[in-house]
Amino acid sequence: MPSHEAAIAKVLPLASIRYVAFSHFEADECGALNQFLAAAPSAVPVASQVGAMVSVNAFADRPAKAMADGEVLRTGRRAFKWLDAPHVPHGHPLTEGDILGPSEAFRAPMDYYAHAPHTAAVLEKLAREKPRVLACMHGSAWRGDGAQLIRALAKTLSGRTLAVAA
């Protein structure tokens, strides 16, 4: 955690951080949450209502702000809209290249992707937001026509594969 504190301090003082938000709770990704909260004494964990109830509030030293689907968190000049999207991916580095093709090449043989009868509706809700950047689970973040890519994923999962231009 000390190296993270030093890196963050280059951008802003930890004491000024008001929120620590994450899409879902995994111990390997959130294990230092309490250390971070100790270094940022005014910060509040932010999670989905389910995440707050089943994980974050049991783990964190402070109660989480439980966000409802569609709720907006205003931080001053910025506003963040929380969208519940269960079992829909998250990720890290930014790319503009094809991410659906490689993802499908990995998923298809095992059909590991958690899709349920409501997955198409969840994906369409996300597509309607017309995102320009998608943070994909355990993979690269992607920049481009997010609505098109999300709808292509929905069609692929429903068995109607669609080629998407990178």
Boundaries of domain holding 39: 2-81
CA-to-CA separations, 148 to 85, 112, 151, in angstroms, rounded:
17, 22, 5
Question: Is residue 38 in some structural domain?
Answer: yes
Phi, then psi, of 149 in degrees rounded to 5: -65, -40
Per-residue model confidence (pLDDT) at position 1: 59
Question: Is residue 86 in some structural domain?
Answer: no
Q: Compute the average pLDDT of residues 19-23.
A: 88
Question: Is residue 162 in some structural domain?
Answer: no
Per-residue model confidence (pLDDT) at position 7: 87
Q: Taking CA 114 as the corner, what is the angle to CA 87 and CA 154, rounded to the nearest 5 degrees?
A: 85
Q: What is the pTM of this model?
A: 0.58
Question: Is residue 6 in some structural domain?
Answer: yes
Percentage of the residues of the chain whose pLDDT score is greater than 90: 48
DSSP-based three-state secondary structure for 50: helix
Last residue of a domain, one of 32, 49, 81: 81
Q: Compute the average pLDDT of residues 104-121.
A: 78
DSSP class of residue 93 equals E
* Whether residue 31 has pLDDT greater than 90: no
Last residue of a domain, one of 26, 60, 81: 81
Quick one: 13 exposed, middle or buried, by C-beta within 10 A (0-12, 13-18, 19+)? exposed
Per-residue model confidence (pLDDT) at position 89: 56
Cβ proximity of 53 and 90 under 8 Å: no
Question: Is residue 166 in some structural domain?
Answer: no
Per-residue model confidence (pLDDT) at position 166: 40
Distance CA 100, CA 86 (A): 19
Q: Are residues 9 and 68 part of one domain?
A: yes
Q: Are residues 76 and 7 part of one domain?
A: yes
Question: Is residue 71 in some structural domain?
Answer: yes
β-sheet bridge partners, residue 20: 45
Question: Is residue 164 in some structural domain?
Answer: no
Total count of domains within the chain: 2
* Whether residue 49 has pLDDT greater than 50: yes
Distance CA 144, CA 79 (A): 21
* Whether residue 140 has pLDDT greater than 60: yes
* Whether residue 98 has pLDDT greater than 70: yes
Q: Are residues 21 and 46 part of one domain?
A: yes
* Whether residue 91 has pLDDT greater than 60: no
* Whether residue 116 has pLDDT greater than 90: no
Q: Are residues 103 and 145 part of one domain?
A: yes
- Would you tell me how many other CB atoms lie within 10 Å of the CB of residue 46? 20
Distance CA 62, CA 44 (A): 7
Q: Are residues 102 and 57 part of one domain?
A: no
Question: Is residue 163 in some structural domain?
Answer: no
Question: Sign of the C-alpha dihedral, residues 96, 101, 106, 108?
Answer: positive
* Whether residue 164 has pLDDT greater than 50: no
Q: Are residues 72 and 8 part of one domain?
A: yes
* Whether residue 141 has pLDDT greater than 90: no
Q: Are residues 62 and 129 part of one domain?
A: no
